[in-house]
Copies of this chain bind each other. A is one copy, B any other.
Amino acid sequence: MKLATLKKGGRDGTLVVVSRDLSLALEVPRIAATLQAALDDWAHAAPLLAEQYRALNGGLAEGAFAFDPAQCASPLPRAYQWADGSAYLNHVELVRRARGAEVPATFYQDPLMYQGGSDAFIGPRDDIRAREAWGVDFEAEVAVITGDVAQGSPAPACAGAIRLVLLVNDVSLRALIPEELAKGFGFFQSKPASSFSPVAVTPDELGEAWQDNKLHLPLTVTLSCEPFGCPDAGVDMAFDFSQLIAHIAKTRDVAAGSIVGSGTVSNRQGGLNGAPVHKGGVGFACIAELRMLETIETGSPRTRFMHDGDTVRIEAFGADGQSVFGAIENRLSALP
């Protein structure tokens, strides 16, 4: 089934069931007022929501109305956890190669993750409010929303706790990153509010596109309507979502409603660390990677980060050509 959250009814918005083709929505206040409430009591809520989903797809849901992604908040407008991995090692390799450094061997055995802010996500169609000088970049990623996971759960048990799949724009302020990471405690100001796809989808809904705890679909990324990349999220993901969740759960319980990200989707494309779209490659899911490739090839980056008014669009299309999660569209509204 497909779920979304409308920007009405309070800080957590209003949960709606969305039809498979994203044309219709239905409020379900008798089942759960918010997505977090549904996740808190998933065993009870999920079958009831699935029933409404079937009715909606069959044209039998009373009270259904046209679904408008522009009215959506992120599926969880605020969450108790946003933990983002870096599972596509091509991204890491590019960063390191651009500055002439090696990737540590441990990166291939143990997931790299950071804890992100989760108290106030922007919506799928909201503006990014940041200064151009901060080096505003997007990162197109896949994420999952979990149920409860007990401390110490191994990866196979964690796979069973994957409730929903969605897309993310993990907004990154590149100019703030070097100084922040040099302080040794990880990202903070350099990772402002992320945004998520309008629709979150259960794994069963994805059919063959969900295998081995990975999403096997390309992410279509455009920057101000120009193609920027379409790397396949099922390719070159070194750690699947069950392994990322197990990484979190090693030393603590993980609570229902935790959002776990894949890191920037990035394909090696024959071991060359990728190629841009204008050279016939699948391109990239963030500007930084293209700039790193440019640095490796010519000694310096050419492509600029986002300017005021630039819009990034992130979407995934199923085998039937339909948008699976709806599109993230974030415009940079530059601060003075």
Contacts and interface: CB of A to CB of B under 8 A. Distances in A.
A251 B194 CA distance: 12
A114 B79 CA distance: 18
Contact of A119 (B80, B182, B250): B80
A252 interface: yes
Interface string A165-203: 000000001001001011111111110110000000000
Given A120-B253, A176-B251, A254-B119, A186 B186 contact: yes
A291 B184 CA distance: 21
A186 B114 contact: yes
A78 B80 contact: yes
- Chain copies in the assembly? 2
Contacts of A189: 247-248, 250-251
Contact of A81 (B86, B118, B130, B187): B118
Given A11-B40, A183-B104, A192 B251 contact: yes
Q: Which applies to chain A's interface (DSSP): helix, strand, loop or mixed?
A: loop
A115 B84 CA distance: 12
A258 B335 contact: no
Contacts of A252: 117, 120, 192-193
Contacts of A80: 78-80, 118-120
A116 interface: yes
A252 B258 CA distance: 20
A247 B180 CA distance: 12
A257 B119 contact: yes
Given A119-B80, A193-B252, A185 B187 contact: yes
A114 B188 contact: yes
Which of A176, A184, A187, A254 gathers most chain B CB within 10 Å?
A: A184
Pick from A104, A130, A176, A188 the residue with the most CB of B within 10 Å: A188
Contacts of A115: 114-117, 186-188
Interface of A: 10-11, 40, 78-81, 83, 86, 104, 106-107, 112-120, 129-130, 134, 151-152, 173, 176, 179, 181-190, 192-193, 247-248, 250-255, 257-258, 335
27 contacts: A79-B80, A80-B80, A80-B118, A80-B120, A81-B117, A81-B118, A81-B119, A86-B185, A106-B183, A113-B188, A115-B117, A115-B187, A115-B188, A117-B248, A118-B118, A119-B255, A119-B258, A120-B252, A152-B335, A176-B251, A181-B185, A185-B186, A186-B186, A188-B248, A189-B248, A189-B251, A193-B253
